[in-house]
Amino acid sequence: MGRAPCCDKASVKRGPWSPEEDAKLKAYIDENGNGGNWIALPQKIGLKRCGKSCRLRWLNYLRPNIRHGGFSEEEDNIICTLYISIGSKWSIIAAQLPGRTDNDIKNHWNTKLKKKLLGKQRKEHHARRATCLSFNQEMKRESENYTVPGTVNQAAHWPLLPPPVMPQDPIKNLLVKLGGRFSDLHPQASPTAKNPMNFQYPLDFPFSQDQPYENSMNMFSSAPSSLSPLNSTCSKVTDGITHFNVNDVDGPNDVFQGLDGFQAELSELIYSNNQQILDEFDGFYGTDNMVDGTSTGTSSVESRSWGDINSLLYPQILSVFEACRQQSIPQVSNYEESSYFGPQ
DNA sequence: AACACAAGCAACCGCCCACAG
DNA sequence: GCTGTGGGCGGTTGCTTGTGT
């Protein structure tokens, strides 16, 4: 059985708000607050609106100090970086951008940033793929020309490229270069029912080398290096706005559990959280043989529904794999770290 | 000028969660 | 512990405006 609707849809007005309605709502809330009850509020002030609609209107439009449109490059960067790290947690992202609402950010992402990044990602993907395909052809030619004496030429049965080996120091170096930080000291945190925000990702925010981010996101830069926003806790207070605090709730959190831990963590992250990373490499290698050399055969509708976006979610990880590839296949040397948020 | 299409944005929908009773 | 209710959130819809043909 579904729950009862919060209001009688037949008797409430829907659609765009009139200036009069706005004025009524604003005047009342300015004077009295919402009284802790949005559902009852419209009746009190004689608005034929759903309480939820009033709340939305207030939070997204009438609330003081709201800014609309005109997103700066810096704000774009923050949104993109947070999206890449935590996904579509618009309220969390909005909490880092004063004056912005989750709805605004969501719209901005859907209409502009997503396309912008997708376009960039596609370009890079195609460039990488072109490089790889030509390399594959080269490898194939060489393998066809070479037969170990006394053996059968098995080139046709082997993957064109060996599975990437995980070189440890190069990964660490690359992550550091990307702005990640290492800590081998503390146990790994993970989301819990109590602390769903207590994520642990293998990479700290890459802000540490970017001064512009430090200005606008000093909550991150001022936090201990082992803390990322993903270890933050969120708390809701009664002003109708969610507030997020950087608190180390479960004791110090680890970024990497040493290199062995990191390697396992990276693998786990990739396999459990993001099949699309594998798909990305699938596309990259032009074969179904993936990291472990086995065919995943995964190409589900769901995963594709995330589409290319997912390849954006962990550019650092992709970079790591590219570094791996570069390490294990030094012939492909034209790899360059891509700048995701730099000028196009 | 008229139409089609795309982009932007406000608002709605429905699910989930916290909390009071 | 259970249930009902309101608040919060992410996803989606549909209207408006802009642009191209």
A103 touches strand B (CB under 7 A): yes
* One domain for residues A92 and A123: no
Task: Look at residue A270 and tell me if it is in a domain.
Answer: yes
Confidence (pLDDT) at A119: 65
Task: Look at residue A16 and tell me if it is in a domain.
Answer: yes
Task: Look at residue A106 and tell me if it is in a domain.
Answer: yes
User: In angstroms, how far is C16 C1' from A140 CA?
Assistant: 56
Nucleotide nearest to A193 (CA to C1'): B17
Nucleotide nearest to A107 (CA to C1'): B9
A128 touches strand B (CB under 7 A): no
Calpha distance A297→A154 (Å, rounded) = 23
* One domain for residues A286 and A204: yes
* One domain for residues A130 and A277: yes
Domains in chain A: how many in total? 3
Nucleotide nearest to A196 (CA to C1'): B17
A90 touches strand B (CB under 7 A): no
Task: Look at residue A195 and tell me if it is in a domain.
Answer: yes
Task: Look at residue A54 and tell me if it is in a domain.
Answer: yes
Confidence (pLDDT) at A126: 65
Q: Are A170 and A323 in contact (CB under 8 A)?
A: yes
Instruction: Strands of chain A (E only): list them.
Output: 233-236, 242-245
Calpha distance A234→A198 (Å, rounded) = 10
Task: Look at residue A282 and tell me if it is in a domain.
Answer: yes
* One domain for residues A85 and A135: no
* One domain for residues A181 and A312: yes
* One domain for residues A316 and A268: yes
The pLDDT tens digits of the residues spanning A178-196 come to: 333 333 323 333 333 334 3
User: In angstroms, how far is C15 C1' from A306 CA?
Assistant: 27
* One domain for residues A15 and A29: yes
* One domain for residues A214 and A127: yes
Secondary structure percentages of chain A, helix, strand, coil, to 5: 50, 5, 45
Confidence (pLDDT) at A70: 81
Calpha distance A93→A80 (Å, rounded) = 9
Task: Look at residue A333 and tell me if it is in a domain.
Answer: no
Task: Look at residue A174 and tell me if it is in a domain.
Answer: yes
Confidence (pLDDT) at A38: 85
The pLDDT tens digits of the residues spanning A64-119 come to: 888 887 888 888 888 888 888 888 888 888 888 888 888 888 888 888 888 777 66
* One domain for residues A192 and A271: yes
* One domain for residues A136 and A280: yes
A61 touches strand B (CB under 7 A): yes
Share of chain A above pLDDT 70, in %: 32
**A173 vs A30, A177, A187, A202, CA distance in Å?**
54, 6, 22, 14
CATH number of the domain to which A94 belongs? 1.10.10.60
* One domain for residues A108 and A169: no
Amino acid identity at A30: D
A192 touches strand B (CB under 7 A): no
Q: What is the DSSP string of A168-222?
A: HHHHHHHHHHTT-----SSPPP---SS-TT----SS--TTTT-HHHHHHTHHHHT
The pLDDT tens digits of the residues spanning A271-318 come to: 333 444 333 333 323 333 333 333 333 333 333 333 333 444 444 433
Q: A136: domain range?
A: 116-142+160-328
* One domain for residues A170 and A250: yes
- Enumerate residues near strand C (beta carbon within 7 A): A 3-4, 6, 15-16, 34, 36-40, 51-52, 55-56, 88-92, 102-103, 106-107, 110, 236, 240, 242
Highest average pLDDT, of A150-154, A156-160, A184-188, A242-246, comes from A242-246
Backbone φ, ψ for residue A296 (5° rounding): -85, -35
